[in-house]
Amino acid sequence: MTDKIAYSRHDDIVVLRIENPPVNALSQAVRQGLADGMDRAEAEEGVRAVMIVGEGRAFIAGADITEFGKPPMEPHLPNLCNRIEASPLLVVASMHGVSLGGGLEVALSAHYRIAQPSARVGLPEVHLGLIPGAGGTQRLPRLIGVEPALDAITTGRHIKAPQALEMGIVDRVEEGDPQEVGLAYVRELLDSGAERRPICEMPAPAPIDWDAAYEATLKKGRGQISPAEAVRAVQAGVEKPFEEGMKAERRIFSELMNTDQRQGMIHAFFSERAVGNLPELKGVEPRELKAIGVIGGGTMGAGIATAALLSGFSVVLIEMKEEAAKAAHERISGNLQGALKRGKIDQAKFDHLTGTALSVSTEYDSLADVDLVVEAVFEDMDVKKDVFGKLDAVCKPGCVLASNTSYLDVNEIAAATKRPEDVIGLHFFSPAHVMKLLEVVVADKTAKDVVATGFALGKALGKVSVRAGVCDGFIGNRILATYRTAADHMVLDGASPYKIDAALEKFGFAMGPFAVADLAGLDIGWATRKRKAATRHPEERVPTYIDRLCEQGHFGQKTGEGYYIYEKGKRGGTPNPEVTRLIEEEQKERGITPREFTEAEIVRRYMCAMVNEAAKVLEEGIAKRPLDIDMTLLFGYGFPRYWGGPMKWADIQGLPNVLAAIEGFAEQDPWFWKPAPLLAELVKTNRNFDDLNKEAAK
């Protein structure tokens, strides 16, 4: 027995209690302990049943992800599951907290399952770029049928115990101490003469149209392969004897283990947890937050207020005029109406949030008691400075003063107050009550506990918060500006916006850059180009064709025409021939002979531009770690999770290859494609971005 399993005897029942905090992952020692425990129980006189239960907050959260990529160690999980299932004793799993992945697979190899009402089960391996690898794709369909099993496996969703009971995944749901209610259940089963019930002996379920299911899953996954491969594993289990199905599952699991997508997804899993873990904030207590102030109730202010209300904060929103205040209230009510419709809140909660918890005012004095204010007024430095001056006058000492600015200098905004140490940037993404990303922008004088408070707010709102420094666009928008420029250059040189969007959607982006521009509104980019025109470097190549379209009053989706033409009632748009004409016109004016771009070249240029700028963001200290950039792009910019983020993508390509590509592009346009010194340095010292993550964690 290993020290991860506590063995105890209760008359004729043996309890194997897993003690591997924090989440009872199935490390080698846990697997060994369970195997030894089964051996011992079977060898002992008078034992009739074994119950497996978890200590702490979960039954079992699955295989130990930290062991992935290392040489596999015996006993292997599929063999352990088979061994448990084959036991001559009656085996019961008593589940609480989560039973995920290998955890549910262990439970499925038991003969009966009892769960706490609050328990959740699931096979989330697809979120790690894998499929269940210890019989999940074989046993679950036999137990509940192919379609519900495929839904669970290909989505990886968590299923609450009452629903798991309805679906037949668990046999009983009962509140109480997992060991006590579990033991009572085992006793009841023994007294009623219940027989062993190995799922492997159940008949194979009815088949479905496998090719159609495979194709549909592949399409839904936008290029992610593991959910579609899970269909094949389930198919093998239905068409072949159990042992053959297990072998097919193992083969697919092992193949996926060696894919880039698995590496990317697991990088995303750990980075998502590491991103809020800042060494500089160790031991720093955040300030208390109860009441939040929001200045400006437009698109962003209303979204921020909605998010805060839904997370239990009271909100005081300030607008300029009564009419605007009324409109802001309506906007927030509209957002909350959505939450009501989706069942996230009930009517009583809706009434409370739009009534008592929210107050809208035109008087800054109403902010006297708030603990933190987020300013979301127009993107104009003078307006922002004026607002911060007023906040300084009315907010109580210790109140955190935050700006939601997209680009402006937070140091300059802080200087408009007498308390720059309380000022920070909190850059939300639109729609703010939906998007997961929050950039916490730390200015020169921001106090540490104010930074900690920014992160605490992000956590309370359910956001992924990333630390960023001050520069034009912080981490995300600054990098976006560069890769968007790379896309614009490709358009000038001959790749159509539609070909670029298609290539990048195939790469895995939720939307291509031109479809995104139409969604955000072309007027935003137009205004920025006008603002920057005076200070532009002469060698900078900026296309003007889209300005011609804006001059005609076409701003994208909101006006029905942009890069694409949008018809009412139809999803998506069709290419706009006027855009193609304007591009050709500009190419003629500039004397450019358009050339062919392959999809691979489009992706390479776009990604290299992203990585190169990201490396500059890192070396300037705007982002502290590569993983901060990866999480920014993943949660704010629709970057495909299965690549892990741009820095992980670069590591997977090999940094020498990325640098060589950038140097190659620089031969035609040395001004735009200046290789980041950090990239060259990493190549020279034979390191990559992941090494920088590891160095930062030390």
Q: Which of residues 295-314 bind ligand NAI (CB under 6 A)?
A: 295-301
Site for ligand NAI contains 525 (CB under 6 A): no
The residue among 474, 472, 546, 559 whose CA lies nearest residue 513 is 546
Whether residue 376 contacts residue 406, with contact meaning beta carbons closer than 8 Å, is answered with no
The pairing of strands 400-403 and 372-375 is parallel
Q: Which of residues 117-136 bind ligand 3HC (CB under 6 A)?
A: 124-125, 128, 132-134, 136
* DSSP per position, 34-87: HHHHHHHHHHSTT--EEEEEE-TT-SB--B-GGGTTSPP-SSPHHHHHHHHHT-
Q: Could you confirm whether 505 is annotated as catalytic?
A: no
* Measured distance CA(625)–CA(456) in Å, rounded: 20
Site for ligand NAI contains 324 (CB under 6 A): yes
The pairing of strands 112-115 and 98-100 is unpaired
Options 50, 77, 93, 340; binder of ligand 3HC; rule CB under 6 A: 77
Tell the smallest beta-carbon distance from residue 475 to ligand NAI (Å): 13
Tell the smallest beta-carbon distance from residue 366 to ligand NAI (Å): 12
At 132, the amino acid letter reads P
Contact pattern for ligand NAI over residues 423 through 442, marking x by CB under 6 A: -----xxx------------
The residue among 329, 322, 323, 374 whose CA lies nearest residue 355 is 329
Site for ligand NAI contains 84 (CB under 6 A): no
Range list of H helices, 61-176: 77-85, 102-109, 136-144, 146-155, 161-167
Q: Could you confirm whether 280 is annotated as catalytic?
A: no
Whether residue 549 contacts residue 577, with contact meaning beta carbons closer than 8 Å, is answered with no
The pairing of strands 13-18 and 5-10 is antiparallel
Tell the smallest beta-carbon distance from residue 79 to ligand 3HC (Å): 12
Site for ligand 3HC contains 22 (CB under 6 A): yes
Q: Which of residues 273-302 bind ligand 3HC (CB under 6 A)?
A: 273
Q: Report what 430 binds from ligand NAI, ligand 3HC, none; CB cut-off 5-8 Å by kind.
A: ligand NAI
Tell the smallest beta-carbon distance from residue 297 to ligand NAI (Å): 5
If the CB atoms of residues 79 and 337 are measured against ligand 3HC, the closer one turns out to be 79
Q: Which of 105, 319, 375, 586 is catalytic?
A: 105
Please state, as a whole number, how many other Cβ atoms lie within 10 Å of the Cβ of residue 395: 24
If the CB atoms of residues 113 and 329 are measured against ligand NAI, the closer one turns out to be 329
Contact pattern for ligand NAI over residues 93 through 132, marking x by CB under 6 A: ----------------------------------------
Q: Report what 273 binds from ligand NAI, ligand 3HC, none; CB cut-off 5-8 Å by kind.
A: ligand 3HC
- For residue 635, what are the contacts with CB-CB under 8 A and spacing of at least 6? 435, 436, 437, 464, 466
Site for ligand 3HC contains 264 (CB under 6 A): no
The C-alpha R_g of the chain, in whole angstroms, comes to 28
Site for ligand 3HC contains 61 (CB under 6 A): yes
3-state secondary structure of 244: helix
Binding footprint of ligand NAI, residue count (CB under 6 A) = 23
Site for ligand 3HC contains 64 (CB under 6 A): yes
Site for ligand NAI contains 378 (CB under 6 A): yes
Question: What are the residues binding ligand NAI (CB under 6 A)?
Answer: 295-301, 318-320, 324, 376-379, 383, 387, 404-406, 428-430
Q: Catalytic residue numbers?
A: 105, 125
